[in-house]
Amino acid sequence: MGNLRVKICGITRPEQAQAIARLGATDLGFICVESSPRFVTPEQIGTIAAALAAEPETSSEVQRIGVFVNAPFSVIARTIQVGRLSGVQLHGEESPEFCQQLQQQFPRIEQIKALRIRSLEALSQAEIYASIVDTLLLDAYHPQLAGGTGQTLDWPSLRRFQPQCPWLLAGGLTPDNVLTALAQIHPQGIDLSSGVERAPGDKDLAKVALLFQRLRAGSIPLTMG
């Protein structure tokens, strides 16, 4: 297994973004969905990006991913520019055609397509998107919530999941269960949100530090942010 990407999602505060990047996160996720308690505006993301750029330790390596759910193209485009994003995560029912259009308009922006897995049949979608987007993300299905649910996936059912592009595992990961998940399946990265929070959008830096401590103790090779 190559070095593991570690994405901490639902960032809302500049000082927490800086601290999480210093701890080793490769990616920071920003929720661009107004109904979410973790919502941040493009301007807020831009402020956080500027704070990251101001610190030599976090200036260049950490990726800034905006998370969208069925957002209009114009909203995504503006957020990329104002928020200084390096990637977008599409967490709704965005079509392959929409993803292609976005890729053509922003070829240097990483595109992550999230699939909320309710059944193994949902994995068939992965084949369609894997040839279009840069990265896939598998999350647990919830009928009302698009993400940050704290629910885990059925990890044993994903043992044979090997799409033609890199993929990230999300869904209820915590410092306590991440090694159990990684012992069963081998994604190229992991995505945590509620599992390292005190409250929605308020990250628990002790839990983030514990996450990296557990990963290193488990001899998981990390891509340092």
Could you tell me if residue 45 is inside a domain?
yes
Q: Above 80 in pLDDT, residue 144?
A: no
Report whether pLDDT(150) > 60.
no
* Dist CA 123 CA 83 (whole Å): 31
Residue 223 inside a domain? The answer is no
Examine residue 13 and state whether it is found in any structural domain, yes or no: yes
Backbone angles phi, psi at 8, to 5 degrees: -105, 120
Q: What is the mean pLDDT of the chain?
A: 90
Which residues are annotated as catalytic? 9, 139
| Contact (Cβ atoms closer than 8 angstroms) between residue 189 and residue 168 | yes
Residue in the block written with tokens 């957020």:
79
Among the listed residues 164, 161, 212, the one whose alpha carbon sits nearest the alpha carbon of residue 187: 161
Contact yes or no for 87/68 (Cβ under 8 A): no
Residue 222 lies in a domain: no
- The CATH number that applies at residue 49 is 3.20.20.70
**Section 171-199 average pLDDT:** 95
What is the pTM assigned to this prediction?
Answer: 0.91
Q: What is the mean pLDDT of residues 12-33?
A: 96
Residue 97 domain flag = yes
Domain extent at residue 15? 5-217
Q: Is 69 helix (H, G, I), strand (E, B) or coil?
A: coil
pLDDT 10s digits, 72-107: 999 999 999 999 999 999 999 999 999 999 999 999
205 domain-assigned? yes
What total of structural domains would you count in the chain? 1
Q: Looking at residue 48, what is its pLDDT?
A: 96
Q: How many C-beta atoms surround the C-beta of residue 197 within 10 A? A: 20
